[in-house]
Copies of this chain bind each other. A is one copy, B any other.
């Protein structure tokens, strides 16, 4: 029997899950729950849409509920709440608040014999896993994470709030020179500016002062002031034609030394190059839904992260098949 998934919150991530479920024979998408009027939500796959107010009544039809809300305000409230009713997976990505989120979710899930997986995706998620594996192997070394080339929604939004800006897209780009030093085991100490550059494609309103807009972007504290930033003014048509996608990616690198006299250098590198950030994230979420289901069946209750999941639990293959084909 297929693992029955539900989705709470219908946006890019939810659409990604709809696509991913189609690629996983052992999964079935049963329902989408929304805070909007259900009839106003049109899903890609035609899966039924219900009001979130009716979610408790569907408790027995859903094996794992995929929480697709945002990390700022939705998930801190939703994940503990729904972990009392469902096994859940979320993509909570506010790194600094993970310990607090974990504690809240753990208590809720344990009280109801549910399994709740938080902070799933690629960072946190696959990047975290690679940091852990690489640190466990190379005990004496340095960690580096670079993001991009990819679209930062937060930075694009920040540009759009500037007076005279109609639309904008911002790309975060790793500094190739620094990547090269890291891969070369030079163990550089890198400033913010040395790790990433920012490239902005901006559609200005007719007659807007482009010099002022460019200056406001480049000097914006936190978002751009500490980076080398390039600003290109383009037409709305160009933005739609050349910058419609949501690509992303990045690199997790650990370099370390071994040997009686630390005479040998090693480089472990994990990288992602993604055409669609939300669709890839959704694929990770769906793989972890499989693990959540299996772990709950085995009585592994409470809050879990990617660190707690044996890789075998992510795969639809049998253990014997895995050993024969992938080991």
Contact = CB atoms under 8 A, between A and B. Distances in A.
Interface of A: 16, 18-20, 22-24, 44-45, 95, 98-99, 102, 119, 124, 126, 128-133, 135-140, 183, 258-260, 263-276, 279-280, 282-284, 287, 290, 305-312, 314-316, 319-320, 322-324, 326-327
Contacts of A279: 258-259, 264
A80 to B, nearest CB: 16
B16 A258 contact: yes
B272 A315 contact: no
B266 A273 contact: yes
A133 B128 CA distance: 13
Contacts of A131: 326
Contact of A324 (B18, B44, B98, B258): B98
A294 B327 CA distance: 22
Given A133-B129, A259-B276, A269-B271, A138 B326 contact: no
A183 B273 contact: yes
Given A276-B264, A323-B98, A140 B23 contact: yes
A280 B137 contact: yes
Contact of A314 (B136, B270, B320): B136
B323 A312 contact: no
Query: Looking at A23, A265, A274, which has the most chain B CB atoms within 10 Å of its CB?
Result: A23
B327 A95 contact: yes
A44 B268 CA distance: 26
5 contacts: A129-B133, A131-B326, A259-B279, A307-B311, A309-B311
Given A260-B44, A268-B272, A312 B322 contact: no
B129 A320 contact: no
A219 B280 CA distance: 45
A124 B258 contact: no
A263 B45 CA distance: 16
Nearest first, the 9 closest Cβ-Cβ pairs linking A and B are: A264-B275, A136-B314, A23-B139, A267-B273, A307-B312, A264-B276, A258-B279, A136-B287, A128-B327
Given A95-B327, A326-B128, A139 B275 contact: no
A308 B313 CA distance: 8
Nearest to A139: B23
Given A131-B326, A133-B311, A19 B138 contact: no
A323 B310 contact: no
Query: Looking at A16, A264, A279, A319, which has the most chain B CB atoms within 10 Å of its CB?
Result: A264
A94 B280 CA distance: 33
A283 B19 contact: no
Contacts of A99: 320, 323-324
A228 B316 CA distance: 38
Contacts of A309: 310-311
Contacts of A265: 275
